[in-house]
Each structure stands twice: as C-alpha cells, then as structure tokens.
Structure 1
Amino acid sequence: MTAKTPHAAMGGNWASLLLPIAADDGIEFEKLCEELDILIDAGVDGIYSNGTAGEFHNQTEEEFDRIQAMLAERCKASSAPFVIGACQPDPLIMLNRVRRAAALDPRAIQVILPDWWPLSDAEAVDFLNRAAEAAGGIPLILYNPPHAKRVLTPKELGMVCAAVPAVIGIKLADGDDSWYAEARRHLSGLSLFVPGHHLATGIEEGVAAGAFSNVACLSPRGAQAWTVLMRNDIDAALDLERRICRFMDAHIVPFRQEFGYSNAALDKLLSAIGNWGPVGTRLRFPYRSIDTTEAIRLRRIARSELPDLFP
C-alpha cells in the first residue's frame, strides 16, 4: 500500500533542539553544540529550535540570540535545513525575535498566537500579518498546540491562514476521522505537522506533511528511518506507530497525567531514554524534572518494545 501525499512546501522528520541545563539553571552551550552535531549527523530532515520542549518561554533574549546563532552556524556549515522558533507569549518580544531570526535565513520561523488573552480571528490575522512583515519574506509556521489559550479548529485555522499567505504550515494536534476530514477540507494548501507519534496516520490520511517530532526526541536516527519507511511501506510504518503509541501511553503519558510533569519534561525524558546525546532530563526552574533513574529504568523497555527505532 502506498501512502497518499499532501501538497506541502516543507515536511518530513524534524528534530527538536533541547537545552542541556546545568544544576545552576544555566544553559550548557558546549553540550548544545555537541547535540547539534549529533542531530546533523543523524540525517534528520531538519532541526528546529524553541518549541515547547526547547523551553522558549524560559530564556533571556541574549540566550535566545546565542541559541539561534549556534543553530544557524552549525546547520549552514552542513547544509542542514533549520527552523527557528521565535515563540514568546508577549507579542512585542515575539516580533522582535522574528526580526532577529529572519537575519539568520532559516527555512521558516515558527510563531504562536500571543497567549495571555486569547485572540479573536481578526486579531490573529493582524498579528500574523505583522509577524510576516517582521520576517521579511521568510515563511511562517503557526504553532497551535493543545495547551494554547485558544486551540483553533481546522476551519478557523484555514480562514486565518488564508488571510496571511506567509503562513505555509501549522504545527498542531490531530484528532479522529472527522478531524482529518475537516483538515482535508480546510487546510489542504498548508504543510501540517502532526504529533510525531501519529505521523504515519497523518501521512496515510493524506494530511500530514511531517512532524516536529517527539519520536525524534527518543531516537533521531530511528525517527528518520521510520519516516522513510512511511514512503515505502505505509502498513509497516502504521504497525510501528501502534507500538510507539502503546509505549507512550504505558510509560510516558502517566508522568503527565498522574504526576503533573510538563510536555517538555516528557520530551527530555524521551531523549534520556534514547541516550543519544548530552541533553539530560533537567528543566529550568521553576519547572520540575523527571529523575534520570526513570530514563535508565525505561531504556531497556524501549529497546525491547521498539527495536526498530534503535538500529
């Protein structure tokens, strides 16, 4: 069986740049540089900074600039595609981040809708047009996650993004069959980035272009191999997706549902389970981190249940 392919300006398996955090809450930039080299060597389709797992909400502007400069320098030297997340709950700070990000010439810039008070559709269009202006021709990716103050429906997203041609894609949560039908109806001209552990379903449905992927947090090389498998054998890819989801539901999701850890904590746990780089599980204060012993405990289970991801 061959997967259907959506019209997409960009897509594939994008790995998150996770921040190695020291005991004093400082960013360990030497380890960040090492992490970048590992991700580039893994051959992922692209690397993106400053998603939720990249702790964009908990950085100074000087740190933001240093992270993006390092990302751009390492990726350009290796011809690796990169996206800069300029997200910030404050709209003025975010627009300034967009301007500075644009100077580094990324493939795209990711933004969120300002998040202290939910925007109306008209306000969302106004903000995204202003962001497009600040980006100076660099395309935009809209990040509308489930924890946003306002999660837009496919129809609402279609109307908002149609008014801002610079928005070429959306990172969002998927849903059931009716959600996919609505996405096909209203979002067909956009690159949709679904949750990483649902990517094979999104590809099979003819909707997803790719993922800013939590599976790449677990194993960048494994997530890339899985993405290639989707192009060649979607049934086998869907089988692996079912096993990934079972692992997530049994061993990862309970840390959020039962113990209240953040999604960023879960993604860093996945990275520590995969043990592919120097990231660690520590988040910046005041956010709680999952103890490294949990990653060590789950490492054997992950390799037993998901050997395909650990070639």
Structure 2
Amino acid sequence: MLTLKTMLTPETLLGNWGTLLLPINEDDSIDYHRLSEEIDLLTGVGLDGIYSNGTAGEFHNQTEEEFDRVQLVLAEKCRAAGMPFQIGASHPSPVISLARVRRCVGLAPHAFQVILPDWVTVSDEEQMVFLAKMSEAAGGIPLVLYNPPHAKLVLTPADLSRLRKAVPQLIGVKLASGDKQWFEEMRTRVLDLSVFVPGHLLATGVQEKVASGAYSNVACLSPRGSQAWWRMMATDLGEALRIQEKILELFAMCIVPYKSAGYSNPALDKLLAAAGGWGNVGTRLRWPYRWIEEKDAEAVRVVARRLLPEFFFAGE
C-alpha cells in the first residue's frame, strides 16, 4: 500500500484506482456534501487509490473555483484516511491546465494526470515542451499522461517511449488497449512506463504483461468488487479472465446500447455507479450534456447481479 509520502515511480504506480464522480444538483451546481460522502465510501473499500477530474469527473465542465474546491476536499479526505490520490489537472487549454498544477502542488498528490493540448494538435517537439513545463510546475510530483482514444492525436508506443525519455517525471500513461501487435510493441518499446488500460480489459492487459493497473470504469460499478478482481489477477488469472468475459457481456447488453444512442462516457460511468448502488452520486450531468435517468439503472443492476454476483456485497 502506498503511503502519503511515497514518491510514485513506473514500478510502484500500480493497481485499481477509482474515479471521483461529480454529484450534480438539479440547478447544475456541484453537491459537495454528496461528494464528501462519496470519498468516504471510496476510501473505505481498500482501493489502491482515488483520482479526480478524469473524463468521468467532468473536468471539462467546471469553473476554476469549483476545480479548486473539489481538489481540496479530495486531498483533505484522502490524507485523513491514508489513501493515495491523484489530481486530474487536465483541461483543453494548456494555460489553464498549467495553472491547475501550480495551484495544487501544495496539496501533495501522488501524481498529476494531464492531457496533451487538443484544440490545435501539438507536434512532437510541442508535446515535449508542454510536458516539460508541466513537469517543472509540478515540482517533484510525477505526471501521468491521459491519452484517450477520442483524442485528436492518439500516441503510438514509439511516441510514448520518446516522451518518457524526454520527460523523466512522466511515469505513467492511461490509454485504450489494443490488438496483439499493439501489445507486442508496448512490451518492446515502452519499457519504463506504468501502463493503465481500461478497467473492463484489465485482465487481458495483465495476461499480456503490459498493464500495471486501471483507472477503472469497473470501479464505478463496484469499487469493492473491482478491487477484489484486481487482487485475483495475481492469484488466479484464469478466473479473472472468466470474470472479464462476464463484464464484457454486461457492457454489451447494458452499456453499449446507450453509447450507440450517443450518450457520453461520463453518462455511462454514472449509470454504472447507480446500478452498483454503493453510493449516492446520481446520474445527472451538467448542461449541455445528456444523462441517463436513474430509473434505467435498475435494469442494469438486475443484469449485473446475475452476471457478476461476486461484485456485490451486503448493504450495496
């Protein structure tokens, strides 16, 4: 278990990290009381860590005052619980992202998550210039690069290796998984980065000896169940792979149809959390984004409990 004084490295950035979802009131304000309760629940189930302001945390749709308050609540709660945490400092504007890092250094997260500037695609040289300045602003706190499949520039394994060599403070990446050829290239090219893959494909990533962990959408469904599944991968990978097939079956039946209907990833993650029933986050997104009604979560819950009974516990 990491401590609050541990300096993360590519070797120690591991495990099943839960995302901090953003509870939204009917008037579009953030419900900080429910946010605080959510952190208490997440710190109580033995996750390897918590991270804020990923896509599911709606980092793209907050004021800077709201951003600061969310990070302060997270840092105070995690410090009190002895829970490792990462702060998502991502923003479509590199200037705002840089300012977020500078303001949050004093909160001493285990890492900052950042994205590459995306409105205008950055060149190879500009990528390094961006990450170098973010690294400087972060002081000794390491960086994790979030490069989702919907980014304008999806980095190759060779790109990741180049950036790691240019910016030593870059210790990890969060990205989509790939095919056999991709896994082979990741094994041979990215030898000194912690690689986090999508939660629902984590067992495959472990089997391929590429994945160090996941910033997990599966933890949205069940933080406790996803943590038990991660631990299983070290003792019974075959059973973990069997459970992954059940997770993929659940997603195909209950999540993909909403995705195909145009709902965003934050909407899908909040649906999973509502179906899991472990907290009171709600499914509402901020204007202008559509959310899935909470009543729809009941049908997902029924299927999830049938396919993944080991993910549900008394009281959840």
TM class, shorter-length: over 0.9
Which position in structure 2 is the counterpart of 1:79? Answer: 82
Deviations 1:133-162 (A, max 9, x none): 010110000000011111111111111222
Letter in 2 for 1:308: E
2:242 aligned with 1:239, yes or no? yes
Q: CA deviation at 1:9?
A: 2.7
Query: Greater relative contact order (Cα 8 A, min sep 6): structure 1 or 2?
Result: 1
Q: Give the TM-score taking structure 1 as reference length.
A: 0.96
| Residues 174-193 of structure 1: pairs in structure 2 closer than 5 A | 174-193=177-196
Letter in 2 for 1:307: P
2:220 aligned with 1:222, yes or no? no
**SS at the partner of 2:173?**
strand
2:17 aligned with 1:23, yes or no? no
- Output the CA distance in 2 between the equivalents of 1:308 and 1:158: 38
Which position in structure 2 is the counterpart of 1:210? Answer: 213
Which position in structure 2 is the counterpart of 1:296? Answer: 298
Unaligned runs of 5+ in 1: 1-6
Deviations 1:14-50 (A, max 9, x none): 0000000000000000000000000000111000000
Partners of 1:102 and 1:109 within 8 A in 2: no
- Output the CA distance in 1 between the equivalents of 2:96 and 2:128: 18
2:38 aligned with 1:35, yes or no? yes
- Output the CA distance in 2 between the equivalents of 1:308 and 1:117: 45
2:254 aligned with 1:251, yes or no? yes
2:114 aligned with 1:111, yes or no? yes
Which position in structure 2 is the counterpart of 1:306? Answer: 308
- Output the CA distance in 1 between the equivalents of 2:111 and 2:34: 25
Q: CA deviation at 1:204?
A: 1.2
Which position in structure 2 is the counterpart of 1:3? Answer: none
Which position in structure 2 is the counterpart of 1:50? Answer: 53
Give the counterpart of 1:121 among 124, 128, 131: 124
- Output the CA distance in 1 between the equivalents of 2:278 and 2:300: 14
- Output the CA distance in 1 between the equivalents of 2:292 and 2:250: 17
Partners of 1:21 and 1:284 within 8 A in 2: yes
**Residues 245-254 or 120-129, more deviating:** 245-254
Q: CA deviation at 1:291?
A: 1.1
2:187 aligned with 1:148, yes or no? no
**SS at the partner of 1:281?**
coil
Give the counterpart of 2:264 among 262, 265, 269: 262
2:138 aligned with 1:135, yes or no? yes
Letter in 2 for 1:155: A
Partners of 2:206 and 2:233 within 8 A in 1: yes
**Residues 128-137 or 180-189, more deviating:** 180-189
Give the count of matched residue pairs. 304
Give the counterpart of 2:67 among 55, 61, 64: 64
- Output the CA distance in 2 between the equivalents of 1:16 and 1:40: 11
- Output the CA distance in 1 between the equivalents of 2:269 and 2:158: 29
Letter in 2 for 1:111: V
- Output the CA distance in 2 between the equivalents of 1:158 and 1:78: 35
Unaligned runs of 5+ in 2: 1-9
- Output the CA distance in 1 between the equivalents of 2:189 and 2:123: 19
Partners of 2:164 and 2:192 within 8 A in 1: no
Q: Give the TM-score taking structure 2 as reference length.
A: 0.95
Q: Percent identity?
A: 58
Q: Please, what is the CA RMSD of the aligned residues? A: 0.8
**SS at the partner of 1:110?**
strand
**SS at the partner of 1:123?**
helix
- Output the CA distance in 1 between the equivalents of 2:241 and 2:54: 26
- Output the CA distance in 1 between the equivalents of 2:124 and 2:253: 38
Partners of 2:270 and 2:282 within 8 A in 1: yes
2:14 aligned with 1:8, yes or no? no
**SS at the partner of 1:109?**
strand
Give the counterpart of 1:100 among 83, 98, 103: 103
Partners of 1:31 and 1:278 within 8 A in 2: yes
Deviations 1:35-73 (A, max 9, x none): 000000011100000000000000000000000000000
- Output the CA distance in 1 between the equivalents of 2:152 and 2:142: 24
- Output the CA distance in 2 between the equivalents of 1:236 and 1:102: 41
Give the counterpart of 1:273 among 272, 275, 279: 275
Deviations 1:167-213 (A, max 9, x none): 00000001111110011111121001100001111111111110000
**SS at the partner of 1:147?**
coil
Q: CA deviation at 1:296?
A: 1.3
Partners of 2:23 and 2:284 within 8 A in 1: yes
- Output the CA distance in 1 between the equivalents of 2:156 and 2:48: 28
